[in-house]
Structure 1
Amino acid sequence: MSREQRRAVDEMLRRAPQGFEPLPVERMRAGFAAMMSAFPVPDAVVQTPAELGGRPAILVGPAPDAPARPGTILYFHGGSFALGSPRTAMALTANLVVRTGVRAVSLDYRLAPEHPFPAAIEDGVAAYRNLLDDGEDPAGIVFAGDSAGGGLSVTTCLAARDAGLPVPAGIVAFSPGLDHTRSGATMVTKEGIDPFFTRESMGHTGAMYLAGQDPAQPLLAPAVHADLTGFPPILLQVGTNEVLLDDAVRLARRARDAEVDVILDVTAGVPHVFQAFTGTLDEAGQALDRAALFVTQRLAVTEPAAPAVR
């Protein structure tokens, strides 16, 4: 337990300007990209531009001299559905690839406010359908994502199941956003403890994604309204210093009630998407190791599938 490291990370984050200021989305995107570029990307991967489901993507594979396992991680980046790209999540994506030996395809899904709900989910389902149409076994595909992308890993699975597609082998969600009603108790109890978000700030970007639609529906608030019957096993990783803590807690409860295998993995004293702090925070690498173990245990491909991205 690295309590000193956790305190140091928290103090570093609080040195940034505090308080919420609504900014134009272009400035928010630039600031988010700059912040995420500070997280180191492992060298032992190969990044290749690709296309999946009609959207740009980045194929991230192990280095040629590294062991490779069959299967695919379909990765969804974070950014409140309005910010980010596969590049901003590359540290997390590449760390999963290095630890598992499994290739990942990180999807550049459409962003709000230009493309509000349900555009991102439609892109996720189209990408998954593309993998299946190209011959990949759903038992060899795991969805993963961070923050909004963690939520998207769940809602894409929900939409795919409801469309009659087979579900993937598993879901890994880092600090997922799973409730656009923002009704979790930790939205209040963790305000001031969370160094990144407040209920007000999440409402600002959430409104871009909602575009006036009612958030009280399964694809916008799965932690409150989704029926998870038939879902694959889920790994939810979250920190106690997050206003989104109860999103993961409540989704785990819904998974349990639906007789779905679920691991609720809570780390004390760490911030939103703490897994990105590898090299700075011991708990980050340990959490990624647990996520990698979950991925490799879930994948059941017996033969390498033909590449499905171009």
Structure 2
Amino acid sequence: MRPFLHRVPGHPVGVRTARSTVDVASMLVRPSQGVRVRQVVDPQVESGRSRRSVRGEWLVTRDGGERPSAGAVLYLHGGGYVVCSPRTHRPITSRLALDTGLPVFAPRYRLAPEHPFPAPLEDALAAYRWLLDRGVPASGIVIAGDSAGGHLAASLTGEICRTGLPRPAGTVLYSPWIDLTCELSIEAQRLARDPYISARSARRVARLVVGAAGFEDPRLALLTSPWADTPPFLIQVGGDEVLRAEGEAFAEALGAAGNRCELQVWKGQMHVFQMLNRVLPEASAAMDETRRFVRSVVGGATPAAGTATGTATGTGTGTGTGTEAA
């Protein structure tokens, strides 16, 4: 299989073509049985010094009701910041709704190259404020995302901490694209070829995303940003993916700052393998681990800072470390 990002050229015309293809294919994606999806359009949401439109999908279980006072998952989809949508990621978002019993909000954030950074972060922050405005307590919110959405989820968590907003309960990252310079991934790809992602192609796409902000912007350069006193993190990476090194480096940075971070490296798995949770046992097990983490941080059973919980699937012990899950 050709690397996925070979199909997303690093120029605007190619990106728009790829986006149209993905959007058409996503029309076939249905939520899991037992999950209802409602489209959200709120044109006026307070976000910092301005008001922004919030759009996205609100997913709840058919028999569980909405119950926003119990908490919610804010899910930020991947796609290199240039393609995909909440609809493409329903296999993950609907599973999260079923597993956690919490509503899941997946915002439709603006994409590059038409809207380079910080537009996605502004939209993610508006979505977080929208949840707070709906009465969802920050202590019940878990921020999650995959790939570029994992980068956005981490950046949003940092922005919330820096600006003094009420902090979320925790953050979950699936195969996060942490280093947009792709230096770690390019080095890793010299040793082993990822069947799904080309690090050099990702770097070309990143130039469209970063825009005038520059790679050194602390909201983008997550490995060098300050990370003191953050909510707990769960990071899952595939053992065979080129972004594994980035997830490991970020877990190390979080641990070095004294934060609780669970890193899980899933042996033999590819980039964002959690999307296959309906058919792949390892992906389903990874989602079970997510449920455990969400329940621990939302339910108040959070382990002490500086530790990571061990499980039968191979979750590592020790801040920012992990072993390969079977």
Post-superposition shift, 1:279? Answer: 3.3
What is the aligned partner in structure 1 of residue 316 from structure 2?
none
Q: Is residue 230 of structure 1 aligned with residue 229 of structure 2? A: yes
What is the aligned partner in structure 1 of residue 34 from structure 2?
44
CA distance in 1, matches of 2:5, 2:149: 25
CA distance in 1, matches of 2:235, 2:132: 25
Q: Is residue 262 of structure 1 aligned with residue 261 of structure 2? A: yes
CA distance in 2, matches of 1:175, 1:208: 21
Greater CA drift, 146-155 or 198-207: 198-207
What is the aligned partner in structure 1 of residue 309 from structure 2?
none
Structure 1 contact 233–261 (Cα < 8 Å) conserved: yes
CA distance in 2, matches of 1:143, 1:90: 16
Counterpart residue type for residue 71 of structure 1: G
Structure 1 contact 217–225 (Cα < 8 Å) conserved: no
Structure 1 contact 181–216 (Cα < 8 Å) conserved: no
Which residues of structure 1 form unaligned runs of 5+?
A: 1-13, 302-310
What is the aligned partner in structure 2 of residue 137 from structure 1?
137
CA distance in 2, matches of 1:220, 1:179: 8
Structure 2 contact 60–66 (Cα < 8 Å) conserved: no
Post-superposition shift, 1:67? Answer: 11
Structure 2 contact 3–198 (Cα < 8 Å) conserved: no
Post-superposition shift, 1:17? Answer: 8.8
Which residues of structure 2 form unaligned runs of 5+?
A: 46-52, 301-326
CA distance in 2, matches of 1:67, 1:126: 20
What is the aligned partner in structure 2 of residue 88 from structure 1?
88
Tell me the secondary structure at the aligned position of residue 81 of structure 1. coil
Structure 2 contact 75–145 (Cα < 8 Å) conserved: yes
Post-superposition shift, 1:219? Answer: 1.3
What is the aligned partner in structure 1 of residue 122 from structure 2?
122
CA distance in 1, matches of 2:204, 2:18: 11
Post-superposition shift, 1:90? Answer: 1.0
Post-superposition shift, 1:173? Answer: 0.7
Summarize the Cα distance change of 1:179–1:41 in structure 2 as closer, same or farther, 3 Å threshold. Answer: same
**For each residue in 1:73-128, what CA deviation from the matched residue of structure 2 results, as whole angstroms up to 9, or x when unmatched?**
01101111111111011111001111111110101011111110011011111111
Post-superposition shift, 1:64? Answer: 2.3
What is the aligned partner in structure 2 of residue 239 from structure 1?
238
What is the aligned partner in structure 1 of residue 147 from structure 2?
147
CA distance in 1, matches of 2:131, 2:120: 17
CA distance in 2, matches of 1:21, 1:76: 20
**For each residue in 1:222-263, what CA deviation from the matched residue of structure 2 results, as whole angstroms up to 9, or x when unmatched?**
0x2121112100000000221111111111011101111000
What is the TM-score when the length of structure 1 is the normalising length? 0.85
**For each residue in 1:167-191, what CA deviation from the matched residue of structure 2 results, as whole angstroms up to 9, or x when unmatched?**
100001111111112121x433336
Post-superposition shift, 1:217? Answer: 3.1
What is the TM-score when the length of structure 2 is the normalising length? 0.81
Tell me the secondary structure at the aligned position of residue 260 of structure 1. coil
Aligned-residue RMSD, C-alpha: 2.4
Summarize the Cα distance change of 1:37–1:282 in structure 2 as closer, same or farther, 3 Å threshold. Answer: farther
CA distance in 1, matches of 2:121, 2:252: 23
CA distance in 2, matches of 1:229, 1:235: 16
Summarize the Cα distance change of 1:31–1:230 in structure 2 as closer, same or farther, 3 Å threshold. Answer: same
Counterpart residue type for residue 268 of structure 1: K
Q: Percent identity?
A: 33
- Name the count of aligned residue pairs: 286
Tell me the secondary structure at the aligned position of residue 89 of structure 1. helix
Counterpart residue type for residue 286 of structure 1: A
Post-superposition shift, 1:300? Answer: 4.0
What is the aligned partner in structure 2 of residue 109 from structure 1?
109
CA distance in 1, matches of 2:230, 2:148: 19
Structure 2 contact 2–196 (Cα < 8 Å) conserved: no
Summarize the Cα distance change of 1:211–1:194 in structure 2 as closer, same or farther, 3 Å threshold. Answer: same
Structure 2 contact 4–196 (Cα < 8 Å) conserved: no
Post-superposition shift, 1:19? Answer: 5.5
Structure 2 contact 81–112 (Cα < 8 Å) conserved: yes
Greater CA drift, 200-209 or 212-221: 212-221
